[in-house]
Structure 1
Amino acid sequence: MKLSVILICYDMAREIPRSLQGLSRPYQIGAADLDYEVLLVDNGSPVPLDPQSWAHVDVPVVHIEIENAHPSPAAAINHALARAQGEIVCVMIDGAHILTPGVFNLAIAAFDMFDNPVVATRYFWMGPKAQNLSISEGYNQEVEDRLLEKIDFPSAGYRLFEVGTALRTANENINWMNRLFESNCFFMGTGFFRELGGADERFDFPGGGFINSDIFKRAVDHPDTTAVQLIGEGCFHQVHGGTTTNITTEERKPQLEEYLDQYEAIRGNRDIITHSTFSFLGHVPNDAAKIHRKRKFEY
């Protein structure tokens, strides 16, 4: 088997069918004949996922329900990693993300072009701003449903760039060459991820704290890997009430400090961002994907 996608979810009954559409055979370029699996891990949702909600989607799902699940997704990631059959593993710690159509094709191509690559996809928010801001201005699931209907998702997946915005830090002038500090969809060799130790279960906060950043940094900074960023592809975060993504900026600040304290206790420093050099691979599929351009967003 070529690829295993680890898709972690908690209380995402609305979002998961669309996330799976973004991982499906007809949607992902080159996936019609791809030997792959999506390990959909329900990490203790109060109401279990209903497989009938994605029965219409042509996607090879292995549905895993974690019993007595820990609020951190670390153990869920490791459970899926132990079961993964693919040569390559894709880690999606927040299952509410929708991919653009070329992610699989380009990521797999990177494994033929680079030595032991770690391939990262840029993070986007659904909606006009970071959701910590947009939800305070009226953005919600109903608005998001209308946006996805407006672009006729999933028939033209690159139109996601019309209804989303790239994750920014202090740098407001975003472009595809800005180095990623985190990704919610990144690929590496399955054997390498196992050798790396998988997810560190000391990251035990609900949602995992900085566990995603930790996995990404350890993989990218490893001396034997090549860091690769995809251009013209993205993963788009659906609004769902996430641990850090869908709370106000004021609520988020002390929470992030607590996460940083835990990271320092585990790693001995507070530097969660990789400083490695990236190679780039991709294209610009449409005008809306020219993310350096400022544009008015209407919904």
Structure 2
Amino acid sequence: MPTIAENQNTKLPLQLSVVVIAYNISRELPRTLYTLSEKFQREIHSDDYEIIVVDNGSKPAVDLSDDAYKLLPHPLPRIIHVQNPSASPAAALNLGIAAAQGQYIGVMIDGARMCSPGLLSQALAALHARPDAVVCTLGWYLGYDYQRLAIKYGYDQAQEDALLDTVDWAEDGYQLFDISAMDESTVDGWHQGFSESNAIFMHQSSWQALGGFDLSFDLPGGGLVNLDLCRRSLEDLQMQCILLLGEATFHQVHGGAATNISAQQLHIQWQRWSEQYMQIRGQPWVDPVPHHPILYWGRVPDNIKTIFLRSILGSSKAYPSGTPSPALIDCAMPDHIWCATPLSAAQMHLYHALKHALQAGLHGWLAKSCRLLRKHYPQWYAPQHLLRLVAPWSLQDDGLNQAETTLLNTMQTWLESNCAEPFPCLISQELLSPAEKEKNLNLALGKANEQLVQKAAQIDGLLESRSWRITAPLRRFLDRGKGIKKP
């Protein structure tokens, strides 16, 4: 089986090689490769990089002469067909890394992920600034929600194709953020840490020093092989993690080994993966703790600044049900999203119910309701736009109290009755007592102020050290957040 070996090339004519693993993703791979092409990527020339597709036993095999790839510009990606493919992608990954001719190498373990348009140029710029860096990106799901939950409520490939048609992603790839939600391994990762990167870049010598991907991770899909690589690189004494602020990969639904299975199946699989990790490493899996403080590179696009703010405010543990998030209320349901087209009477009832729930801080109920609305109104994207914001506060699609559960059941019955009457219960005060509301509001405001001040101080320190690249508009955005006070 191949392992990382010394590259025999004495010359490195290319700056960057990008290795993409493919396995039975004939629908998804053409879009992935298009988003990696010079036609899509910005501020980088095709002479500066190469794309290597490692086909790990697809049936039929990847063939770039197929019509599905006709939009790809030349030069076309290199294709390596693994002769004796294994269920784990580890060997295929190492094969691609060994074949890379670039000074720097980026790896995408899942070829079903589309990319943002500045991914390659920003990764390369960060590596030029810090050749000892491991450059990481955060992962997103197309479809506004964790894909395993989106699938539960009717999301499929046909819906995804229709969703992609609602934005001009081929012309402006940053519009992919508008129809996506952060995935489980990187949710709130700007400020809460992350366990995995699905596009990870390093100098060729760094890949050699790490030994590439560990072939011991031989379970189908690789188990925790990618998380293991990420953890080893982040905790390496000689390596500095740089996180790209505004670049990402976007997972297309395709029945992935971890991303598109049910919660029950994921729990079973995670036990298997964790047991194997324990056998290989002699210790249980824990999220990585970078040896050096993470540095940030690039800028935050305007269309994800609300999600960036939510990640500053904190995770679901910081905002339990009934705890309002004042900084988000005004920007979570913008008129240009909700009033883009005239609303029916039923949709107007639902709009007011969701708005009231947002003001009450009922994030779990909001997430469940938006998922329910996906099933009944698959082409109404406004509730899904809200879902992408509140989904991290309802990771398991459960945890509602009795009053919230009753209200959710009422909504479901109302939807199934064709919404003939006004929604019968607009998030009543019965869900929380006035004392509870006052207490939770004070806690939320105090915590928001404290966290925003801490983040501002941290940013000031990084700016003074000149290790953070950040735009003036983003700085003004963060400064405005310092002023949160009780209304």
Give me the TM-score of the superposition, normalised by structure 2. Answer: 0.59
Match of 1:290 in 2: 306
Match of 1:21 in 2: 34
Q: Shift of residue 178 of structure 1? A: 3.1
Question: Deviation digits for residues 58-109 of structure 1, max 9, x if unmatched?
Answer: 2640011112200100110111111000111111001100111111111111
Matching residue within 245, 248, 251 for 2:262: 248
Counterpart check, 1:176 vs 2:190: yes
Match of 1:159 in 2: 175
Counterpart check, 1:139 vs 2:226: no
Matching residue within 52, 55, 58 for 2:70: 55
Q: What does 1:1-299 align with in structure 2 at a 5 Å threshold?
A: 1-51=14-64, 52=66, 53-58=68-73, 60-168=76-184, 174=188, 176-276=190-290, 277-291=293-307, 292=310, 294=332, 296-297=383-384
CA contact (8 A) 2:240 2:294 kept: yes
Question: Deviation digits for residues 86-136 of structure 1, max 9, x if unmatched?
Answer: 111111001100111111111111113225000001100111211111101
Give the letter for the 1:104 counterpart: L
Structure 1 segments of 4 or more deviating over 3 A?
293-296
Q: Shift of residue 246 of structure 1? A: 0.7
Question: Deviation digits for residues 256-286 of structure 1, max 9, x if unmatched?
Answer: 1110110111011113421013111121222
Cα distance in 2 for partners of 1:286, 1:15 equals 27
Give the letter for the 1:20 counterpart: L
Q: Classify 1:27/1:227 alpha carbon distance in 2 versus 1 (closer, same or farther; 3 Å).
A: same
273-282 or 86-95: which moved more? Answer: 273-282
Determine helix, strand or coil for the equivalent of 2:25.
coil
Q: Structure 1: 5+ residue runs without aligned partners?
A: none
Give the letter for the 2:277 counterpart: Y
178-187 or 136-145: which moved more? Answer: 178-187
Instruction: Report the structure number with the largest CA radius of gyration.
Output: 2
Higher RCO, 1 vs 2 (CA within 8 Å, ≥6 residues apart): 1
CA contact (8 A) 2:278 2:284 kept: yes
Cα distance in 1 for partners of 2:116, 2:46 equals 18
Cα distance in 1 for partners of 2:231, 2:189 equals 21
CA contact (8 A) 1:24 1:31 kept: no
Cα distance in 2 for partners of 1:200, 1:31 equals 31
Cα distance in 2 for partners of 1:180, 1:168 equals 9
Question: Deviation digits for residues 184-243 of structure 1, max 9, x if unmatched?
Answer: 001011121022111111100011000000111111111110001110111100000111
Q: Shift of residue 158 of structure 1? A: 0.3
Cα distance in 1 for partners of 2:31, 2:198 equals 16
Q: Classify 1:272/1:281 alpha carbon distance in 2 versus 1 (closer, same or farther; 3 Å).
A: same
Cα distance in 2 for partners of 1:178, 1:60 equals 38
CA contact (8 A) 2:138 2:189 kept: no
CA contact (8 A) 1:120 1:228 kept: yes
Determine helix, strand or coil for the equivalent of 1:247.
coil
By percentage of residues, which structure has more strand? 1
Q: Shift of residue 9 of structure 1? A: 1.2
94-103 or 31-40: which moved more? Answer: 31-40
CA contact (8 A) 2:42 2:121 kept: yes
Percentage of pairs with the same residue: 36
Cα distance in 2 for partners of 1:106, 1:2 equals 13
By percentage of residues, which structure has more helix? 2
Give the letter for the 1:107 counterpart: A
Cα distance in 2 for partners of 1:33, 1:71 equals 32
Alignment size in residue pairs:
297
Aligned-residue Cα RMSD (Å) equals 1.8
Cα distance in 1 for partners of 2:35, 2:174 equals 11
Cα distance in 2 for partners of 1:175, 1:286 equals 18
Determine helix, strand or coil for the equivalent of 1:283.
coil
